[in-house]
Amino acid sequence: MKIGIEINGVLRNTLGKIQQEYEKWYIDNPFKEESEFEYKVKSDITTLNILEHLAFKDNDELYNFLYQEHTMEIFGHAGSVEPNGLLDLNSIYLDLRDKHEFIIVSDEIGKSKPASLFFISKFGSLIEHVLFYSEITMDNLWSNVDILVTANPKLLLNHPQNKTLIKYETSYNSDTQIIHQIKSIKDLKNKLQEIC
């Protein structure tokens, strides 16, 4: 079986880092330029709709923040979701690599790809295969995995029927009902043994 483990929300605390960097550069920065636009945290980020939580002038400014100006800080230097998440994944990988092929997958564009590679190398991932996908290359994702571990509600709700999904539980996917769920990377080994 080919098992994909998504970076965002499963391994990397991307949303927490986005909010941290936003506050650092748009609110707490003593050198920021004066602007009539009021930058503020509307609420802590608890969904994937960033504009619902952080005030940006428009989608272009959000895109520039994420993928042009602060890409490495956000995607490369974010913390892990769990203190030992990648170490636990390495342990599962070493135990099951003779039975399954593991692939780290992530929805990335532009400079977030090398930043994400830095993230997984920083935490010492042993998994050889990394697959980046986008809205345009979504079919490539599904053709390369049999089982996908993800926190992304969009993927949990819209996937090919012949694929198995394991939901990594988060605050922003609690309403999404999926047969297979885990609360921690440590739970993945037992879940895979149950499924396979």
| Domains defined for the chain, CATH in brackets | 2-13+80-195 (3.40.50.1000), 14-76 (no CATH)
pLDDT per residue of the chain (196 residues) written in tens, 0 to 9: 999 999 999 999 999 999 999 999 999 988 878 888 999 999 999 999 999 999 999 999 999 999 999 999 999 999 999 999 999 999 999 999 999 999 999 999 999 999 999 999 999 999 999 999 998 998 899 999 999 999 999 999 999 999 999 999 999 999 999 999 999 999 999 999 999 8
pLDDT of residue 102: 98
Distances (CA, A) of 42 to 34, 45, 55: 20, 9, 7
- Please tell me the pTM assigned to this model: 0.93
d(CA 185, CA 128): 18
